[in-house]
Amino acid sequence: MTTMPYKVAAFYQFASLPDFRELREPLRKLCGDLAVKGSVLLAHEGINGTLAGSPEARDLLAELRRLADRCCPAIPDGEDFVHYDFTPANLLCDGNAITGVIDINPLTLAGDRAFDLATMLFYYYDRDEIRGPLRGRLLDLAGSRAAAAYLAHMVLRQVDWSLRYHPAAIATQRHLRLARAIIADIKPQ
């Protein structure tokens, strides 16, 4: 008999989901991108499902959920302007100075400016000389729990995007390495 390296999760949650139809396709795509198999039923009254996936996908999603449960209450209501895509690709530089920021959305995007630092930190997490100062400032602004929530969000957002649109790209492998390093650093010991 051949054993499969998959784990199974069965779940349900009664909750009001008036927009359940809009949730179906993103959930289906995420499950496909993570090679998760099974069924999920979404309805006005909640969610019910049974899924099986690789231990790596399961462990990453489980860790992100634990982090969100622990850290999201620490996220402050913010009134700062937040870029929400504050990445190295959206910075204009002249030598050692940043001269501009591009791809700015309307000024109605308010939140905690520390989120932008967490976004930038994700992309520089493997660069010690940049990671230290960015992480220090992020912790000063947000505190450890909100910073962990922001970084967990970035892990989920970037890994999902990379696997969905560029599964074979070298950058996707780097994003997965960054995600593993971030999760190892922010999960409770």
Each residue of 34-86: pLDDT tens digit? Answer: 777 777 787 777 777 777 777 776 677 777 777 777 777 788 888 888 888 89
Distance CA 58, CA 62 (A): 6
Q: Which CATH superfamily is domain 55-186 in?
A: Aminoglycoside phosphotransferase (APH), C-terminal lobe (3.90.1200.10)
DSSP tag of 98: E
Single-letter code of the amino acid located at 56? E
Looking up tokens 């996220």 gives 75
**121, pLDDT greater than 90:** yes
The amino acid sitting at 143 is G
Cβ pair 89, 102 in contact under 8 A: no
Question: Does residue 5 carry a pLDDT above 70?
Answer: no
Give the pLDDT score at 164.
73
Q: Where in the chain is the domain with CATH 3.30.70.100?
A: 1-53
Q: Which CATH class is domain 1-53?
A: alpha beta
Mean pLDDT of 157-183: 87
- The CATH 3.90.1200.10 domain(s) of the chain lie at 55-186
Which residue from 184, 67, 63, 182 is spatially nearest to 119, judged by alpha carbons? 182
Which structure tokens are listed for 69?
């449960």
CB atoms within 10 A of CB 159: 23
Mean pLDDT of the chain: 83
- With 0-12 / 13-18 / 19 or more C-beta atoms within 10 angstroms meaning exposed / middle / buried, residue 44 is exposed
pLDDT band at 2 (very low <50, low <70, confident <90, very high): low
